[in-house]
């Protein structure tokens, strides 16, 4: 599975979220009390932007007249129709047996680990200390044909 760098931990404090586009998917990344969770930004009900919804919790009543508020900031409510899902698992609380929002593994990695994965090393002669990713340009084959430079762009006419 390809890893995608989202942001630094400091720019996503507890209780906040960031919605990013990865390929064709819109994904919401949430910081819930210092732990990170990622959900697909599409409610299984009618495709609403679930990750833009209100973060809430559960109100329970063990006995008449007593109320408790549990799991504050862990329940995501769809802004279109109010369906609720668990940020940690994607589980629906409306129909838990059938409905779930797609989730993705999210974790924190050190800058040193990311640099080691994306930068040249001693085994890559001449590239030690230089980083290749995440920024790359699209490139195209170039050829010289009878004094003309030709660039090939797939899908163009």
Average pLDDT, the chain: 82
pTM of the model: 0.70
Q: Is the peptide bond before 52 cis (omega within 30 degrees of 0)?
A: no
Give mean pLDDT, residues 13-29. 92
pLDDT tens per residue across span 57-94: 988 898 999 999 999 999 999 999 999 999 999 998 87
- Cα(31)–Cα(73) distance, integer angstroms: 9
Q: 147 φ, ψ to 5°?
A: 75, 15
According to the model, what pLDDT value does residue 136 have?
A: 54
Query: Taking the chain, what is the end-to-end CA distance rounded to the nearest angstrom?
Result: 34
Spell out where 25-141 has E strands.
Answer: 25-32, 35-40, 54-60, 68-77, 84-86, 103-104
């Amino acid at each position: 599975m390809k890893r995608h760098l989202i942001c630094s931990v400091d720019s996503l404090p507890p209780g906040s979220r960031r919605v990013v586009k990865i390929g064709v998917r819109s994904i919401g990344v949430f910081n819930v009390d210092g732990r990170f969770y990622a959900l697909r930004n599409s409610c299984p009900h009618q495709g609403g932007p679930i990750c833009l919804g209100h973060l809430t919790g559960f109100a329970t009543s063990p006995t008449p007249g007593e109320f408790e508020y549990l799991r504050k900031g862990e329940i995501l409510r769809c802004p279109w129709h109010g369906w609720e899902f668990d940020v940690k698992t994607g589980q629906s609380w409306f129909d838990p047996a059938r409905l779930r929002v797609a989730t993705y593994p999210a974790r924190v990695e050190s800058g040193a680990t990311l640099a080691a994965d994306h930068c040249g090393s001693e085994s890559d002669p001449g590239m030690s200390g230089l980083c290749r990713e995440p920024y790359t340009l699209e490139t195209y084959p170039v050829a010289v044909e009878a004094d003309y430079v030709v660039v090939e762009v797939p899908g163009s006419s």
